[in-house]
């Protein structure tokens, strides 16, 4: 018993030391400690619950002007998308159709994602040039255009985590794959019952790029 007791104490000590060496000491002593200021400058992400949302606010009424100036040249005055640039508004009820239209309104499950994405990477080619307030205004404008909030609703860091998006429950977890029939590594090898009639040729669709004639 005594030996066993010693063993247990020894084991507990080892566990303690291995945990502490993992979490409290640096194994390689490489790199430098980041200052709060350094982290603040780069830590721009926002989570669905609003964690990380910077102080600021804006409504759709004031957002229309910012949107027109900074977004509309690609996305259209009403978020309809110009040329092949993404449409941002509409698409409600299309997700189960043959032509699903996935917009911020019809598809995006969280308002936080719109803020996060617009701030970090928009306008295209002028990333992180919007102010926090401008970003809230643009997001408010998009939410309003998608009939999610009223035009005078003041979107802010306080409430962006509480916006209920229409497709919030449209996503399935966890990943069910492998989702095809389990053949356990032994598929048919001879005289298999499979259709071999040609029902389509890419050549007939005729959209494959052709190398320039030299």
Partner 1 sequence: MAKEKKDIISRRSIIKAGVGLGALGLSSKSLLAKEANNKNLPPNVPEWTETLGDGVDVNPYGMPTEFESNVIRRNVEWLTASTESSVNFTPLQDLEGIVTPNGLCFERHHGGTAIINPVDYRLMINGLVDREMIFTLDDLKRFPQVNKFYFLECAANGGMEWKGSQLNGCQYTFGMVHNVQYTGVKLSDLIQETGLKNNAKWVLAEGSDSSGMTRSIPIEKIKDDCIIAWAMNGEALRPEQGYPIRLVVPGWEGNMWVKWLRRIEFGDKPYMTREETSKYTDLLSDGKARMFTWVMDTKSVITSPCPEKPVLQKGIHQIRGLAWSGRGKIKRVDVSLDGGKNWKTAQLHSPVLEKSLTRFTIPFEWNGEEMLLQSRAIDETNYVQPTIKELQNIRGVNSIYHNNSIATWLISKNGKVDNVRLG
* Using rule CB under 8 A, residue 162 touches partner 1: no
Cα 63 to Cα 142: distance, rounded to the nearest angstrom: 9
Contact 44, 118 (CB under 8 A): no
* Using rule CB under 8 A, residue 37 touches partner 1: no
Q: What are phi and psi of 115, to 5 degrees?
A: -60, -50
Tell me the CA distances in angstroms from 151 to 77, 90, 116, 140, 166, one per residue in order: 16, 17, 21, 8, 17
- Residue 116 CB partners (closer than 8 Å, separation 6+): 44, 45, 46
Cα 48 to Cα 133: distance, rounded to the nearest angstrom: 19
Q: Give me the least distance between CB of 57 and partner 1, in Å please.
A: 22
Q: Give me the least distance between CB of 158 and partner 1, in Å please.
A: 19
One of 38, 65, 69, 77 touching partner 1 (CB under 8 A): 38
* Using rule CB under 8 A, residue 207 touches partner 1: yes
* Segment interacting with partner 1, rule: CB under 8 A, options 65-73, 146-154, 156-164, 197-205: 197-205
Q: Give me the least distance between CB of 96 and partner 1, in Å please.
A: 3
One of 8, 12, 44, 68 touching partner 1 (CB under 8 A): 44
One of 1, 5, 99, 162 touching partner 1 (CB under 8 A): 99
One of 127, 131, 152, 164 touching partner 1 (CB under 8 A): 127
Identify which of 103, 99, 67 has the alpha carbon closest to the alpha carbon of residue 85: 103
Residues 49-68 that bind partner 1 (CB under 8 A): 49
């Amino acid at each position: 018993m005594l030996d066993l007791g010693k063993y247990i104490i020894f084991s507990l000590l080892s566990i303690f030391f291995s945990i502490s060496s993992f979490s409290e000491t640096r194994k390689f002593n490489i790199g430098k400690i980041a200052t709060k200021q350094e982290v603040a400058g780069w830590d721009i992400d926002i989570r669905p619950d609003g964690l990380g949302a910077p102080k600021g606010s804006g409504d759709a009424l004031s957002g229309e002007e910012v949107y027109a100036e900074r977004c509309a040249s690609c996305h259209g005055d009403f978020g309809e998308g110009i040329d092949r640039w993404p449409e941002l508004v509409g698409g409600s009820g299309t997700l189960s159709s043959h032509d699903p239209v996935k917009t911020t309104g019809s598809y995006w499950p969280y308002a936080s994602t719109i803020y996060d994405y617009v701030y970090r990477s928009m306008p295209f080619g002028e990333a992180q040039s919007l102010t926090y307030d401008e970003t809230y205004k643009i997001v408010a404008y998009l939410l309003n255009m998608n009939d999610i909030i009223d035009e005078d609703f003041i979107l802010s860091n306080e409430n962006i985590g509480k916006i209920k998006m229409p497709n919030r429950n449209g996503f399935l977890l966890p990943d069910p794959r492998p989702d095809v029939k389990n053949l356990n590594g032994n598929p048919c090898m001879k005289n298999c019952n499979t259709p071999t009639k040609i029902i389509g040729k890419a050549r007939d669709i005729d959209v494959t790029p052709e190398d320039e004639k030299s």
